[in-house]
Amino acid sequence: MKQFKHTSLSALALFLGLAFAAPLPALAFDDEESAEEAEEEDGDKWFAVVDGDVFTGTGAVLRGATVLAKNGVIEEIGYDLYLPEGTQVLRVPGQRVYPGLVALSATSRISRGMFASRDEGEIDELARAEAEIEGTPESPETFDWLAAAYDPTLPGSSAPEDEEGAVGRRPVRMDAEDGYDPFNPYLILALATGITTAEQGDSALKLKRGSIDGVGMTEKYISSFAWSNSSPSSKESTRAKFKSASDYLREHRKWEERGDKEIPEPDKKGVDANALKVLRGETWARFSSNDRSELLGIARLAQQYKFRPVIYGAREGWTVADELGRAGAYIVVTPRSRADKDERYVRPGGSSIENAAKLHAAGATVTVVPASTSIDLSGIAGRDLLHLPIEAGFAVRGGMSEQAALEAITINPARIMGVDHRVGSLEVGKDCDLIVTDGDVLHYETFVQWAVVAGEIAYDKQEEIYFAHIRPRSDAVDPLEVVGEEPATEDEAPAEPDADDAEEGDDAEEGDDAEEGDDAEEGDDPEAGDDASGDDATGGR
């Protein structure tokens, strides 16, 4: 597995279980080597999360195991690992370790949002009242912040993307890496949710904190195609594109087999370049549709031309799940997406809470996104990216297994972005992007305690202002230490929830003995404080 990122496309195709060409873009392979070489000059950077219950995301769970990373890449996962001198250790007994979550379709706020500099109390009261009377769940301040987050000089960015119902609608194209703000407050909130990789525009970004180096992982891995009942010509033109590309490939193959240099190479003229890329497995074909007959059409088109479509929305997918499964479709759904059946038709339709589960059962690869793929602090809670795991919980409600639900917010979206060789699960050779939680990641009371990106702590709940006050973590001993260094013996004053200066004051030497005493106590009651509210009525997690 360690060599995984160097494997060939065909090996990847096997891994993905594809019957035909794996549409994994070659450009997914970052020049990681150069980054590593640079690090090497100052010596290797080791990082370890120790004693946590490691949920690798592949199904395996290793209780009380260690994840060891070298220069941001997972070196080993297991027990009794040798930790080299200088390894930064995060000790998390009784807590869980998961792969960082992956957010598809995330709005630009994640990587370049800004809080309004004016007091939000000054929001136009009229607009606010209108939101109330009109039933617009979005507060006006949302739009305000979004506008602030947009760069009007960028082409095509004049209209902010629709915050609601991001599924099926695409954020505007942007040069995500150049727009990356590694200090923005929404980024911290995304990390607080456990999201360590986000789709921004058509790019997969690693949500690094305080650094812009190596943030971009891929760009332009996907090409959009239209398929709409309201525009029959869109179907015709899409079909024609794939037909021409398919014909060309057949001709080309024949020409190659013949090996006759006298005969000219088949002409690419008139062949749609994007469709050709899709059929060659260099990019994904993306469709957006919620309608049953459209979905059916897309599934059949994909089967005819032998590619795996990526379909956003798919609200009525449950009615044609078998066909979508047969097409090997990647489906991006919001389990709570809601639309009543059109009563004019006898055929099944409308939304179903079972959508995600049925698509998964039928063999489609399901990714879950919330109704709003932004971060919404206007007060209505539970429907935005801050609640991505809760949305996945609704897939479970509809009958999906918990493992599949976890995959729907980790490895599956990573696959769509072509970065599953780097993120989406905890495996040797993959990036050390992980989260430490105080419980089941799909449970509503669970908070991310630490988010680690590229082997560095990018978020610590108690160090940030946003959630530190909610069920505060009481670290009996400092969870952070460096192998080979005397542990810091400053009294663990509860950290000021202030992201500033993490001054390392590890010179103090007295009081070692007292610390050991604390250690023992800690071992007895590892979960003390976490489940203070554990009561009979709610039962266990």
Partner 1 sequence: MLCALTLAACAHVSVTPEPASELVLHVGKILTVDAENRVVNRGYLHVRDGKIVAIATTDAGFDVGPGAERIERPDLWAFPGMVDLHCHISTNGFSADLNDMNFPLNPDLRSQPGIRVGHAAMRRACASGVTTAFVIPGSGTSISGFGTVLKFKTDPEGRYADTVVRDPGGVKVAQNFNPERRAGDLGLTQAGLAWNLESLNDRVARQVASGSGTGDPLLANLEAVHRGELPVLIHCASAEGVANTVRMWKLRYGTQCVISHGSWDGHYAAAFAAEHGVPVNHGPRVINHTSMRREGKIQGGAAAYVAAGVPLFSLNTDSPIVPQEELFVQGTVSARYGADAETMLRALTTHPAQSFQLGDRVGSLAVGLDADIVLFTGDPLDPRSAVELVLIDGEVQYDRSQGQWF
Partner 2 sequence: MISSFLLFSLLVAAPAPAPAQGIVAIRVGRAESIASGTLEHAVILVEGNTITAIGEDLPIEPGIPILDRPDWVVTPGLVNCYSRLGLTSRAGNQFEPHVLASQELTEVNSALGQVLELGVTTLGLVPPGAGITGQAVAIRTKGSKPADLVLQDRAFLALSLETNSSSKKALRRGFEGVDDYQGKVDKERAKFDKKNDSKKSKSKSKDKDEDKDKDEFKPPTPDEKVKPFLDVREGRLSALVNIRKASDWLHLRDVISEEKDMRYHLRCPLSDDIDLYEVKDAIGELALHFVTTPTITQQVGTRRERNLPAELTTAGAKLVFVPASDSVRSHETYVKEVAYLVSKGLDAEAAYYGLTLGPATVLGVEDRVGSLEVGKHANLVLWNGDPFEPGTEIQAVMLEGAWVHEEDGATE
Given the rule CB under 8 A, which residues bind partner 2? 112, 114-118, 151, 153-154, 174-175, 177-185, 210-212, 465, 498-500
Which of partner 2, partner 1, none sits in contact with 79, Cβ below 5 to 8 A by type? none
C-alpha gyration radius of the chain = 25
Which of partner 1, partner 2, none sits in contact with 526, Cβ below 5 to 8 A by type? none
Give the pair of three-digit tokens for residue 225. Answer: 């195609």
Which of partner 2, partner 1, none sits in contact with 338, Cβ below 5 to 8 A by type? partner 1
CB of 144 to partner 1, least distance (A): 13
Give the pair of three-digit tokens for residue 316. Answer: 């009525």
Place of tokens 């003995």: 513
Question: Which is closer to partner 1, CB of 214 or CB of 472?
Answer: 472
CB of 259 to partner 1, least distance (A): 47
Q: Which residues form the interface with partner 1 (CB under 8 A)? A: 115, 119-121, 125-126, 128-129, 132-133, 135, 137, 318-322, 336, 338, 340-341, 343, 347-350, 352-354, 358, 377-382, 387, 390, 393-394, 396-399, 402, 442-445, 465-471, 497, 533, 535-539
Which of partner 2, partner 1, none sits in contact with 410, Cβ below 5 to 8 A by type? none
The DSSP string of 172-222 is PP--TTTT--TT-HHHHHHHHHTEEEEEETTEEEE--SS--TT-EEEE--E
Could you tell me whether strands 434-437 and 96-99 are parallel, antiparallel, or unpaired per DSSP bridges?
antiparallel
One-letter amino acid for residue 81 of the chain: L
The DSSP string of 378-423 is SS--SSSGGGHHHHHHHHHHTT--HHHHHHTTTHHHHHHTT-TTTS
Which of partner 1, partner 2, none sits in contact with 508, Cβ below 5 to 8 A by type? none
CB of 30 to partner 2, least distance (A): 16
Question: Which is closer to partner 1, CB of 350 or CB of 429?
Answer: 350
Question: Which is closer to partner 2, CB of 502 or CB of 508?
Answer: 502
Question: Which is closer to partner 1, CB of 118 or CB of 258?
Answer: 118
Which of partner 1, partner 2, none sits in contact with 14, Cβ below 5 to 8 A by type? none
Question: Which is closer to partner 2, CB of 193 or CB of 334?
Answer: 193
454, 460, 456: which is closest to 475 by C-alpha?
460
Question: Which is closer to partner 2, CB of 20 or CB of 183?
Answer: 183
Query: Do the beta carbons of residue 465 and residue 108 sit within 8 Å?
Result: no
Neighbours of 169 (CB within 10 A): 15
Which of partner 1, partner 2, none sits in contact with 117, Cβ below 5 to 8 A by type? partner 2
Place of tokens 């007295």: 510
CB of 213 to partner 1, least distance (A): 28
Dist. CA 530–CA 541, nearest whole Å: 12
Dist. CA 532–CA 483, nearest whole Å: 32
Q: CA of 428: how far to CAs of 49, 90, 107, 431, 455, in Å?
A: 14, 18, 31, 8, 13
Which of partner 1, partner 2, none sits in contact with 175, Cβ below 5 to 8 A by type? partner 2
Q: How far apart are the first and last CA of the chain?
A: 33
Give the pair of three-digit tokens for residue 36. Answer: 């590593």
- Max Cα–Cα distance, the chain, nearest Å: 86
Kind and range of the H or E run holding 437: strand 434-437
CB of 30 to partner 1, least distance (A): 34
CB of 159 to partner 2, least distance (A): 17
Question: Which is closer to partner 2, CB of 267 or CB of 500?
Answer: 500
CB of 469 to partner 2, least distance (A): 13
Question: Which is closer to partner 1, CB of 510 or CB of 535?
Answer: 535
Question: Which is closer to partner 2, CB of 498 or CB of 516?
Answer: 498
Q: Which residues pair with 456 in a beta bridge?
A: 453
CB of 292 to partner 1, least distance (A): 10
CB of 498 to partner 2, least distance (A): 7
CB of 372 to partner 2, least distance (A): 20
Query: Do the beta carbons of residue 97 and residue 425 sit within 8 Å?
Result: no
Which of partner 2, partner 1, none sits in contact with 537, Cβ below 5 to 8 A by type? partner 1
Dist. CA 119–CA 123, nearest whole Å: 8
Which of partner 1, partner 2, none sits in contact with 183, Cβ below 5 to 8 A by type? partner 2
Dist. CA 281–CA 338, nearest whole Å: 34
One-letter amino acid for residue 48 of the chain: A
Neighbours of 497 (CB within 10 A): 16
CB of 310 to partner 2, least distance (A): 25
Question: Which is closer to partner 1, CB of 20 or CB of 345?
Answer: 345
Which of partner 1, partner 2, none sits in contact with 182, Cβ below 5 to 8 A by type? partner 2
